[in-house]
Every structure is written in structure tokens, then in C-alpha cells.
Structure 1
């Protein structure tokens, strides 16, 4: 595939299969995304399969290459037209897996204990099948506003699929629901995630005479003290009772340095994780870290490198008074809540959409051997998605009242 936009081939008049068969087909196609090349797969077959189902339903389908990422594609499928409308969004990739820990083939949908087992069943290929099933009922219905099914690449690794969409300014709609596994409870906020790398370069020398070198590990010891002091200051300043862990967290994840007890340590590297709350800006946090650490490096005559391990995910929050939040609360009977995991919501929000995270399955099953989607979630999910389409695309309701 090449070019900015590619229309998928479709069989005229063909209709998507049933929910189970759709999930089985999507699960059977490996689309792992990973920073490790030996694990990383293209998601092309998954987006082509979605396009093959959606075009005969009347969706205008675009498959967009993700810039700088060969083999990775986003899909935008649009039914109807208008300046508002609803996006149902999911990611096409999965995490890696350990087949020795699975009781069944990760790429074969397996029925057991009123559950569908398979890699990506709840996180989150299953959501596409449920969204398409909900959309079937509206293919012959005049829509006042468009329904958009969005499928992204590389959410589990780089988030570059969603990032590319935000940079291109597409898709345009008024509301967006991201179908991550939340047990069908609406989620209106989550923390961000930053993974950072700090490196000090000193000078090796014989340990019997400290003046012969510059100890990078001692510099890192002082830097860790400053990071922990910063963490305490942030936790005193920022608190949000909507989260189980109400403060921003900073975790010292791994450290490497030196090569022998009798040599002055010439190099030390620290990786750490920072989870900011909504309202905290990632660039300001990085600058605060630099302001504390750079003087330490200069005092000790150490070379210093400070950089993200990946670009990070900003924290996310939608107002509790947003129309989408109110509608989803009434549909589900649950108040909108927060979660600890990060999603693509910040990038859809940057596109100007009221954004909410809500989908079938539970995060406890995600990224685990024997991942499954509980069958008790299937019919309720289709019903909720159908009523969202009716409300925002057919009725074009702008208020939070929901027609019964």
C-alpha cells in the first residue's frame, strides 16, 4: 500500500459476519506493536478486514499510512456527513504474548466458561465487532450527523497512530468514545505517563584515589535525591480525589552503572516513570527536573543527557458536565470515573471532540495470558453503542436528555 489515502477493496453487497465471526477473524491476524523489532507486526491486514466489512455498509473508507512507520495504518470509516457526529474509536494492535502461559491458541477464538478467549478480545479488537454490529441497524437510516469508526495503529507502543491523526487534524466530529475495556463504565479522566532516561558521564580511575576520576554513580545518587524531593513537592501541590492514587507518582524503575568495585564509576543511567494528574503539563515537569539536575551535573563536572524514552501520553480530563458524559452516565447507570491506565483520548480531545473512554471487558484481563471477553458484556455493549448512534447521529441531540 502506498500514497496518502487508499480505498480498500470490497465485495459489492457483502455484509459483515456475526459478532463472534468478526472477533475470530480479527484475533486470527497478528498485529502486535512493540519497540522490539522481533515482536513488531504490521496492522495492515486488520485495517483491510475492517474496510472490507465497512465499505459495503455504505461507509466511506480511508486507509492512511502512519508517517515514518512502514506497515502501520490508521483507518477512518465515515457513514453520513455533517460537521458534528460521533466517533467510535479503537486500536488495532495488541501487546506481545507468551504462548506457554496460554491454555489455548492466542490467535484462535476459543469458547470457554461463557467467555471468548484470544489475544485482543477485550483489548481491544472485540470493540470493533460490537461497533460494527451496532452500526448495521443504521446503514439504511438517514443520519443527521456522521458516524465514524476509527481504527488506529501502535497504541500499545508509541501512540504514533493517534498522534499522526491529531497532527493531520482528522477525523472531525463533535463526540468520541474510545472502546478500551472499562466494564462498560464511562471514564472521563486518566493520568498521563512519562518514561524518562537520565545519564551521567564521568571519568573512570583507580578507586584508591577519588581525584583520578569523576564518579557518575555518586552524581546519580544526588540526582535521585532531587527527584524524590520533587516528587514530594508535586504530591503536596497536586491532588485529585477522583483517583485511587490521588497524587502524581514518580517511580525509580531501573539503574545501571559502573563495571567493577575498584574502578571509579564513569557512567550511570537511570530510567524512571512519572504519572502526572490532569492539569500538569509534561513540558513543565521536564523543565523542573532539568532545573534541579543540571546544577548537580555542573558541580561534579559530569556530562549529562536527559530525554524521554518515548514521547509520553498527556493526562486527560473531560468535564463532568459535558453532554457526552451525561448521556453515557444515563445509559449505563454509572457515574463517570477515572482510571490509572493511559489511552489515546488526549489526541482525540486535541481534535476538538468531547471524549470519553468506555468499552466492554475489564482492564484486569488486558495484557494477560488467556485474555478474554465475557459474553455478558456483548449484548449490553451493542445496545449502548446503538443508543449513542441514535442520539448523536440520527436525532442529532445536543442536550444530555436521552430519548427512551
Structure 2
């Protein structure tokens, strides 16, 4: 299948993060197996989702058959929901209009996966001195939660790639750095009472509101005082509360309020130290006030997802290679997070470069330009050829 055909097939799978991706991932596995490649899966605990990793061994020279070293082509298979969005066409049916291919995930980031899979026959025919690896993950859209199990198994198997290209949409431009993302859940437990008997209760919503406002205060401080990196469109670390739920009736003091918050830290900033600000406020200020009203009050904070920031040095071989193949020497940093930081954390230097524009991601009528996919194909061909003997 060519890239267009692969993309049509991939978009047709509704791999919204709340769903399983197994149908898509087994389809990819079966295609690779039919070409003589043996992928392996790294499942989630429930075995309802899986990452896929596959290696195309070196084919040339004394390293023929070798699976060590080489470069990883990495992409995520999950997509964000279409709920409440007004699409002009079926989001799970690839539709072409004016040189653009519409469909959920066409840009973010099934286009890159489609191009990688379409070129597998060419890769296999190339006389490469190093292997190429394919790494397709789940649950990237909910905080890069799926890839860690794959990377842990990669280490257990003793596979040590030399570099990685994560194909998030960058208009095929080179991105060398991005922020980290850290997502937390918070449950504030108070005591119910009739609202006419306020002193007999402990209002979970009101105490949650105090914590939420404090998180906003921390965010305002980072905006006002830095640290800053002006290469980012948002040049400081950010903190936001994005979901909240609590209360059962207008005349009942709520005993529970739950919310989620996140922060996106610049490279070099410690996520642990940022979170410690919140932990300190809860432990030393907020919780004592709650327990003065209700001794059994508590606040539980849990980690939903955490993915490290990325900052890849210009001296890394993968940086030089991707710059040479794209003829792009501009240094770019982005505020959104990817799985690239996870690869870097285990010692695999990583660059972000893929087809499409991040502006299209997560929106109704998401699309990728056919011209972008063609540029991606040419880049991947050059990448394969760069592994040939001189």
C-alpha cells in the first residue's frame, strides 16, 4: 500500500485514547509479518492496548543482520476525541479536498505512521549498514502514558538505537526542544451537611477552590518572574486547572471535589520542585484548616502522566543527520510535549520532525496536506539511503 492507502486505513480506526488501539496495531503487525519482519508488543496492564516495536535489520557489510544501533521512527496511534466538534465530513473516513486529506489523526499523527509503513518495502530493499526501527505507541494524547512500557522493554531486550525521529507535525521542520508535561489528579474530601447548617460540614469545593487559586498564583509567578526561554512561543513554564467536578445539590455542602491540573516545564526546570510547591501548600496550610473543621478531612494528589522535556544538542549525530536531510538549520523549540523526551531519558538522542501543521491538531476538520506527506516520504527515503556504505 502507498501512503494514501495506509492513511485511509489508519484513520478508519477510531483510536481515540479512551478506546483500544489493538485492531489498528494488529493490522500493522500483520502487514510487517507478511514482509518478513517480527514485531513485538508492549501491552498496558489490562491488555486492551499495545505499543508496537519492529526492527528492520542491517542488510549490508559486516553488520548485516545486526539489530543494534540505527534509528527509530516513532509515532503514536491514539487520537483526541471528536465529541462536540462540527466536522464537514466523517472524521473517521479520509476525505480529500483541494490537496488536503481530512480525518481525525491525519495530521496528528497517522500521516507520519502511514508514510513510514508505506516505505517499508523500499527500506527492506535498501543496502543499509544499520537497522531501522519502528515504534508505534498508545495513549500519547493523555500525557505520553503508553510509551514508557515499550521503552522499558526496549532496555530489557538490550536494544540501543543511536537516534530517533518522532514524527509529530512540524511542517517537516526540525524541532530540537520542547517542554515537559506533568498531569495530576486531586481529590478534596470534606464532610457533607445541609447548607443551612454550614458549621457542621467541611466544604470540599471551597477548599479545592483555594488550592486551584494557589496553583494560578504559582502560574502567575512563573509568568512574571521566569525563568524564561524566548525561543518558545510561551517562554515560561505554565500551570493550569483544566477539569473539575463536585457537589450533588444546591442545598448540600459537598464532601468531595475532584479536579485535574497540569504544568508544562521548560527544560532544565525540575518538575519535582514545581510539584513540591503545591504539596507544601496542601500539607502546611490548606489541610490544617480543613482538619480544624473536620479531623478526617484529606486531600489526595495522584500522578496521571508525566513526560520529560526535550533538549537535543546540536552536536548529536541525529541532529546533524536530520538537518542535512531537510536542509533546515533553524533552531526551533515548541511548547507542546511529545514522546521525544522519553526516548532522550533512556539515552536515545531524539529530534521531532513530521508532516503537517500542529495548528491543525485536535481541531474539527483536521487535515494534512498531500504535499506534506510527499515531503515526508522523500525525507524518509533519504534517511534510509544515508545508512548505505559509501
Quote how far apart the aligned CAs of 1:162 are.
0.5
Matched, 1:128 2:128: no
2:284 aligned residue: 295
Matched, 1:21 2:15: no
Query: Distance between the aligned counterparts of 1:27 and 1:221, measured in 2?
Result: 40
**Higher deviation after alignment, 182-191 or 248-257:** 248-257
Quote how far apart the aligned CAs of 1:181 are.
1.0
Paired residues, number:
372
Deviations 1:2-21 (A, max 9, x none): xxxxxxxxxxxxxxx22222
Matched, 1:274 2:263: yes
Q: Secondary structure at the match of 2:31?
A: helix
Given that 1:61 and 1:75 are in contact with CA atoms closer than 8 Å, whether structure 2 keeps it comes out as no
Query: Distance between the aligned counterparts of 1:75 and 1:261, measured in 2?
Result: 49
Quote how far apart the aligned CAs of 1:207 are.
6.2
Which of 68, 83, 90 lines up with 1:105 in the alignment?
90
Q: Secondary structure at the match of 2:186?
A: strand
Query: Distance between the aligned counterparts of 2:326 and 2:288, measured in 1?
Result: 56
| Change in 2 beyond 3 A, CA 1:289/1:127 | same
Q: Secondary structure at the match of 2:140?
A: coil
Which of 163, 172, 178 lines up with 1:175 in the alignment?
163
2:62 aligned residue: none
Query: Distance between the aligned counterparts of 2:194 and 2:32, measured in 1?
Result: 68
Given that 1:281 and 1:314 are in contact with CA atoms closer than 8 Å, whether structure 2 keeps it comes out as no
Matched, 1:31 2:9: no
Which of 6, 29, 39 lines up with 1:51 in the alignment?
29
Output the TM-score relative to the length of structure 2.
Answer: 0.84
Quote how far apart the aligned CAs of 1:372 are.
1.6
Query: Distance between the aligned counterparts of 1:169 and 1:63, measured in 2?
Result: 10
Which of 330, 333, 343 lines up with 2:338 in the alignment?
343
Which of 117, 131, 134 lines up with 1:146 in the alignment?
131
| Change in 2 beyond 3 A, CA 1:350/1:61 | farther
| Change in 2 beyond 3 A, CA 1:215/1:48 | closer
Output the TM-score relative to the length of structure 1.
Answer: 0.82
Deviations 1:231-261 (A, max 9, x none): 3444425221221111111123344555677
Given that 2:38 and 2:55 are in contact with CA atoms closer than 8 Å, whether structure 1 keeps it comes out as yes
Given that 1:65 and 1:71 are in contact with CA atoms closer than 8 Å, whether structure 2 keeps it comes out as no
Quote how far apart the aligned CAs of 1:376 are.
1.2
Q: Secondary structure at the match of 2:125?
A: coil
Given that 1:196 and 1:306 are in contact with CA atoms closer than 8 Å, whether structure 2 keeps it comes out as no
1:394 aligned residue: 388
| Change in 2 beyond 3 A, CA 1:359/1:299 | same
Given that 2:112 and 2:373 are in contact with CA atoms closer than 8 Å, whether structure 1 keeps it comes out as no
Query: Distance between the aligned counterparts of 1:128 and 1:218, measured in 2?
Result: 46
Which of 343, 346, 368 lines up with 1:373 in the alignment?
368
Quote how far apart the aligned CAs of 1:217 are.
4.7
Matched, 1:70 2:47: yes
Given that 2:265 and 2:309 are in contact with CA atoms closer than 8 Å, whether structure 1 keeps it comes out as yes
List gaps (5 residues or longer) in structure 2: 58-65
Quote how far apart the aligned CAs of 1:381 are.
1.1
Quote how far apart the aligned CAs of 1:200 are.
3.2
**Higher deviation after alignment, 311-320 or 185-194:** 311-320
Query: Distance between the aligned counterparts of 2:310 and 2:247, measured in 1?
Result: 39
2:241 aligned residue: 252
- Which structure has the highest helix share of the two? 2
| Change in 2 beyond 3 A, CA 1:206/1:336 | same
Given that 1:169 and 1:351 are in contact with CA atoms closer than 8 Å, whether structure 2 keeps it comes out as no
| Change in 2 beyond 3 A, CA 1:69/1:242 | farther
Q: Secondary structure at the match of 1:123?
A: helix
Given that 1:216 and 1:268 are in contact with CA atoms closer than 8 Å, whether structure 2 keeps it comes out as yes
Query: Distance between the aligned counterparts of 1:242 and 1:111, measured in 2?
Result: 35
Query: Distance between the aligned counterparts of 2:6 and 2:250, measured in 1?
Result: 59
List gaps (5 residues or longer) in structure 1: 1-16, 35-39, 396-402
